[in-house]
A and B are shown apart, each in its own frame.
Chain A
Amino acid sequence: DTGVSQDPRHKITKRGQNVTFRCDPISEHNRLYWYRQTLGQGPEFLTYFQNEAQLEKSRLLSDRFSAERPKGSFSTLEIQRTEQGDSAMYLCASSANWDSAFFGQGTRLTVV
């Protein structure tokens, strides 16, 4: 098992464009989390899934953000009409139990 995989590692996009990130969790992990991290801050919770069900969404997740986890395996996070304030590192984590979350390397988004 190679751990949690995120793609792409870096993304530069123009303001107003849509972007989609992918996360492949550790196999058989039923929980998957998305976090956002900006410079000097800790990871901020965005949303999480138990299998294919999205259990909670943070108020940070505006209507421009949507996450899916079809079939309870990989997950995608889409940001529509990107804004400069969306520039951040987007982190994905997975766990078999709630108590041991394993993180990917993250996708660094830069909106210009």
Chain B
Amino acid sequence: AQSVTQLDSQVPVFEEAPVELRCNYSSSVSVYLFWYVQYPNQGLQLLLKYLSGSTLVESINGFEAEFNKSQTSFHLRKPSVHISDTAEYFCAVSRTNRDDKIIFGKGTRLHILP
């Protein structure tokens, strides 16, 4: 079965500083990878996804993630964070060889310091 590990439960970072949220996955078959974001008092929203092709994927609000098959990682990065990025971020995986559910990590809370 596939699984997702988010190593950091909380990440504090100063405004305008860069940030990396780490995600590692485990699967015996090929996977699709996702990052979801949950802003305070809101539902989960898809931030970006890797399906195939270029290993670097970007979101519309400046985040990017790179699929690294050899390291089984899909870390999320942003070069300069804003106070509005305060949220919980969830990495998720699903298998490609069948119609499958999406499995989530435990989440990383991004705390932006003024």
Closest to B94 in A: A98
Query: Does B99 lie within 8 Å of A98, measured CB to CB?
Result: yes
Q: Mark A75-112, 1 if CB is under 8 A from B, else 0.
A: 00000000000000001010000111111111000000
Q: How many A-B residue pairs have CB under 8 A?
A: 53
Nearest opposing residue in chain B for A97, CB measure: B99
Let me know if B32 and A42 touch, CB within 8 A: no
Known: A48-B101, A50-B99, A101-B102. A42 touches B46 (CB 8 A): no
Which residues in chain A, 15-31, are within 8 Å of chain B measured between CB atoms? none
Q: When chains A and B are docked, how far (Å) is the Cα of A98 from the Cα of B33?
A: 12
List which B50-99 residues lie within 8 A (CB) of chain A: 51, 90, 92, 94, 99
Q: Chain A: residues with CB nearer than 8 A to chain B?
A: 4, 33, 35, 40-45, 48, 50, 55-56, 91, 93, 98-106
